[in-house]
Amino acid sequence: MDLLDITNKLHDESRQGEVFETLQSANQQNSKKFYIESYGCAMNFSDSEIVASILQGEGFATTRNFEEADLILINTCSIREKAELTIRKRLTEFRVTKRKNGTLIGVLGCMAERLKSKLLEEEKLVDLVVGPDAYRSLPGLIQEAETGQKAVNVLLSRDETYSDIAPVRLDSNGVCAFVSIMRGCNNMCSFCVVPFTRGRERSRDAHSIFAEAKELFNKGYKEVTLLGQNVDSYYWIDENNNTTITFSKLLEMVALISPELRVRFSTSHPKDITDDVLFTIAKYENICNYIHLPVQSGSSKILQLMNRTYTREWYIAKINRIKEIIPNCGISTDIIVGFCNETEEDYLETYSLMQYCKYDLAYMYFYSERPGTLAAKRYEDNVPETEKKRRLQHIIDLHRIHSLESMQRDVNKTFKVLIEGNSKKSDAHWFGRTDHNKVVIFPKANATLQKGDYTNVFVHECTAGTLLGKLVN
């Protein structure tokens, strides 16, 4: 476990883990079974639900035990070198099962896209390599692999959004769900592999997003998170009545499904988030007052090298604007230290920006050069690893103070909490979240509440990652 893992552990109940076994209660009488495991960002977890839907349509059942599967799928992430190493290690663990049972092994997602057929040379046990835009071809590829051939499809598409596929909810608590609103990314942040692994940005049909969210609500879900690499550039033209739907309009459409449906979204880009979006968040009580606004660096020089297209001052002005329009807005971020040419001075600017923003939550990384990216081509990865790690530890320590302060500010206050299920540690306690996405644990106290209900909870205590409370009558 590295430093980053330790920090993220503090919030492990409030974010999907890096590794997350996805599963679904199996229709056991189906003959063939598949097992799927997802890594990386929420988009990947959401994609696995599309894959599950495609495979169920082909008569496959899901299993949570890879040893009894006919097909093992691993939906992969390439964002940092470590993410890929984790997947390589996991693949070796599947080797024994493959030898014993002849199980087919498929690599999906960003690593499949990045390495393409090279992956077949490097990982001899892999039978299928399928990129994020090629999941519709899975049934044909599986048939090919069943005849002993290696099967690859890594074509990226300009228009695939899987909008007509109803995702099969995997490992769902029946309360919260992801809804993918767009795919790909047109930004060219110089450190980032995503534009290469996920292709051009495209927005999904707004009516299908609305219909999916409504259907979820009708089934008893109470929270949707709208997903995209850069949600603020969502843009869709309704050709029937010649209207354009922007992200703020889409947010409003989804919020209007019901005041009982909480709406979250991720990720916003500081250059693209508009006042319209902020006013829409402020207007609707059920759109959570919480924005993930990755800054990456506090130094304008580094931001320029990163090709983030904003400066330190622009970012600070954005934060101020958010606080002006949504006074009580929770803000989280992503930060990279040790990017090419980052000096001590540059890095201290990131530190001071954190002191200014006092983020409720921050995901912090040290720079990991990714082959093929602009930074890999143009700049030297010239901050030594020990120095990267020192800088990372320093900002992790600072953030720990801010996140604890953020938790402590909530003590002695009452919050509307959406109950997501039992506390992991005790069936006598509920687990839920506030509007600010903070985890709250509180005793059930014989009240007739159930999963998916909203209730008011008075917070009397906190730890670094959890609020502890009691029901308010």
- Site residues for ligand F3S per CB under 6 A: 40-41, 43-44, 77-79, 109-110, 193-194, 197-198
Distance (Å, whole) CA 47 – CA 64 = 18
Per CB under 6 A, the list member of 132, 167, 195, 270 interacting with ligand SF4 is 195
Cβ count within 10 A of residue 313: 9
Cβ atoms of residues 247 and 231 within 8 Å:
yes
296: left (phi over 0), alpha (psi -120 to 50) or beta: left
* Partner from ligand F3S, ligand SF4, ligand SAH, none contacting 367, C-beta within 5 to 8 A by type: ligand SAH
Report the nearest approach of ligand SAH to the CB of residue 333 (Å): 8
Provide the token pair at 432. Answer: 């839920």
Report the nearest approach of ligand F3S to the CB of residue 198 (Å): 5
Per-residue x/- track, 51-90, ligand SAH (CB under 6 A):
----------------------------xx----------
Per CB under 6 A, the list member of 34, 60, 94, 367 interacting with ligand SAH is 367
Give the SS3 label for residue 416: strand
Q: How far is CA 240 from the centre of its chain?
A: 32
Distance (Å, whole) CA 468 – CA 473 = 16
Closest CB to ligand SAH among residues 104, 185: 185
By CB under 6 A, which span of 186-194, 386-394, 414-422, 425-433 interacts with ligand SAH?
186-194
Report the nearest approach of ligand F3S to the CB of residue 244 (Å): 26
Per CB under 6 A, the list member of 108, 192, 288, 417 interacting with ligand SF4 is 192
Note whether 332 binds ligand SF4 by CB under 6 A: no
Give the SS3 label for residue 28: coil
Distance (Å, whole) CA 45 – CA 379 = 32
Give start and end residues of each alpha helix (H) in 127-274.
138-146, 194-198, 206-218, 247-255
Residues with Cβ within 8 Å of 70's Cβ and at least 6 positions away in sequence, in order, are 32, 33, 34, 60, 103, 104
Per-residue x/- track, 260-299, ligand SF4 (CB under 6 A):
---------x------------------------------
Report the nearest approach of ligand SF4 to the CB of residue 114 (Å): 13
* Partner from ligand F3S, ligand SAH, ligand SF4, none contacting 78, C-beta within 5 to 8 A by type: ligand F3S
# chain residues binding ligand SF4, by CB under 6 A: 9
Distance (Å, whole) CA 347 – CA 357 = 15
Give the SS3 label for residue 414: strand
Give the SS3 label for residue 70: coil
* Partner from ligand SAH, ligand F3S, ligand SF4, none contacting 336, C-beta within 5 to 8 A by type: ligand SAH
Find residue 456's DSSP bridge partners: 416
Closest CB to ligand SF4 among residues 136, 200: 200
Q: Which residues bind ligand SAH (CB under 6 A)?
A: 79-80, 191-192, 194, 229-230, 267, 269, 294, 296, 334, 336, 365, 367-368, 370
